């Protein structure tokens, strides 16, 4: 009987202590979740990428506005390849410190007609292919206008035109259209991945050079 009374007394002593420990752990968990949410991206309860410390490198303009996400250099140790959304579509662009790089020399358009009429089609990447890739389309820039492919799909083409050429560079039977376009008919090509060409005025982004890489504080030396 005495042993039973001792057991009851012991339980009465321990239960509040156990409850307090549980409540303390719960409060600590809530505090940790609150701290995690403070570094979370907008719109979700928890951003696993941020928690793992995977912060993307971005390039910013003179005012600190994001120009785009860095995905690689352009092969010259000076320029960078970025990806950003244009008209709600991800697009690749080449930028340097002074701004967006012009790279539209000999920009090639292809057509399903044999006289360069109808929708202008272009390669979404840097060359021909028969499979839609994982990277977004590559934009070609002339001045402040970017041209890129949308909705890549398989197309069989019968003519092509190239911009930025002189009449001497467009011998017959090709047809030269002033000031700098040459249309060339060709036998029907095998279907390849092409997208309809669209243009975008980069000035509307409101970005101010110089552009530079924004290195996050987490990448600082200890």
Instruction: Return the domain boundaries, the chain.
Output: 1-54, 64-222
pLDDT score recorded for residue 222: 52
Q: Which residue has the higher pLDDT, 70 or 107?
A: 70
pLDDT score recorded for residue 160: 94
Largest alpha-carbon pair distance within the chain? 115
If pLDDT is split at 50, 70 and 90, which confidence band does 126 have? confident
For the record, the structure tokens of 178 come out as 């002033």
Q: Is pLDDT of 29 > 90?
A: no
- The answer to whether the predicted template modeling score (pTM) of the entire model surpasses 0.85 is no
If pLDDT is split at 50, 70 and 90, which confidence band does 212 have? very high
| Cα 99 from Cα 79, distance rounded (Å) | 10
């Amino acid at each position: 009987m005495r042993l039973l009374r001792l057991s009851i007394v012991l339980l009465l002593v321990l239960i509040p202590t156990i409850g307090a420990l549980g409540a303390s752990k719960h409060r600590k968990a809530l505090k940790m979740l609150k701290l995690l949410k403070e570094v979370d991206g907008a719109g979700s309860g928890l951003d696993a990428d941020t928690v793992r410390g995977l912060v993307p490198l971005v390039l910013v303009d003179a005012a600190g506005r994001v120009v785009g996400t860095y995905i690689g250099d352009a092969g010259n140790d000076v320029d960078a390849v970025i990806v950003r959304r244009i008209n709600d579509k991800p697009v690749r662009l080449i930028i340097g410190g002074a701004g967006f790089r012009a790279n539209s020399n000999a920009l090639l358009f292809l057509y399903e007609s044999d006289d360069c009429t109808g929708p202008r089609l272009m390669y979404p990447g840097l060359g021909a292919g028969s499979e839609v890739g994982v990277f977004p389309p590559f934009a070609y820039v002339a001045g402040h206008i970017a041209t890129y492919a949308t909705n890549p799909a398989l197309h069989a083409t019968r003519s092509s035109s190239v911009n930025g050429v002189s009449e001497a560079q467009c011998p017959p039977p090709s047809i030269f259209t002033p000031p700098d376009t040459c249309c060339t008919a060709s036998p029907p090509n095998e279907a390849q991945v092409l997208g309809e060409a669209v243009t975008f005025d980069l000035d509307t982004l409101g970005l101010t050079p110089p552009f530079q890489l924004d290195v996050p504080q987490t990448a600082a030396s200890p």
